[in-house]
Homo-oligomer: A and B are copies of this chain.
Amino acid sequence: MAESEVFVHPKALCESDQVGAGTRVWAFAHIMKGAKVGKGCNVCDHAFIESGAVVGDRVTVKNSVLLWDAVTIEDEVFLGPNAVFTNDFTPRAHVRKSRDQFLPTRVRKGASIGANATIVCGITVGEYALVGAGAVVIRDVPDYALVVGNPARRVGWACRCGNKLPAGLACTCGLSYSLRGDRLSLNA
């Protein structure tokens, strides 16, 4: 396909007219009307993106990922297979809620969410953070943090390249970082 086109698999369902150029939507995936998906994304089989969800550019949405209204995914995020988000902290079938009662969730640029991770609503996952497979995230995740477990806790720091950083905070890929207080930042 031309770079400027959206590819929608014949067995997918794409109802949104706000999907960016070069994005591919695979079999049995469903993007609802009113969902925004950026350019160059890959939306894999059985993924679901609800009206109101916002997805940036060059995002990988692996199979069966579920994204809701009030969830924002920034550019170049990796959402692993079966990663699931929420937007209602106290769901009850008999209680009808309006959109302004949903708790917003944001995954910031370049972060990765591991396979089968659960992201409880109302939190922010920081830039280039790495949420381990199967983690249950119930609070904010700092930039570059590597978190695992249920509930998820920080067990280290992740490089932009994806590797866990060694104690000296210099990655084999060439990048290095500095820790000030409990905040990691990339060295210039």
| Residues in A lying within 8 Å of B, measured CB to CB | 11, 13, 27-28, 30, 45-46, 48, 58-60, 63-64, 66, 76-78, 80-82, 84-86, 89-95, 110, 112, 114-116, 118, 120, 130, 132-136, 148-151, 158, 160-164
Top 10 closest pairs, chain A to chain B, by CB: A90-B162, A134-B136, A118-B134, A78-B93, A116-B118, A60-B93, A92-B162, A76-B93, A82-B84, A84-B116
Smallest CB–CB gap between A12 and chain B, Å? 10
**Number of copies of this chain that the complex holds:** 3
B118 touches A115 (CB 8 A): yes
Most buried by B among A13, A45, A163: A45
Q: Which residues from B are CB-within-8-Å of A77?
A: 93
Task: Give Cα A110 to B135, complex, Å.
Answer: 27
Q: Are A58 and B163 in contact (CB under 8 A)?
A: no
CB atoms of B86 and A81 under 8 A apart = yes
Rounded to whole Å, the gap between the CB of A14 and the closest CB of chain B is 11
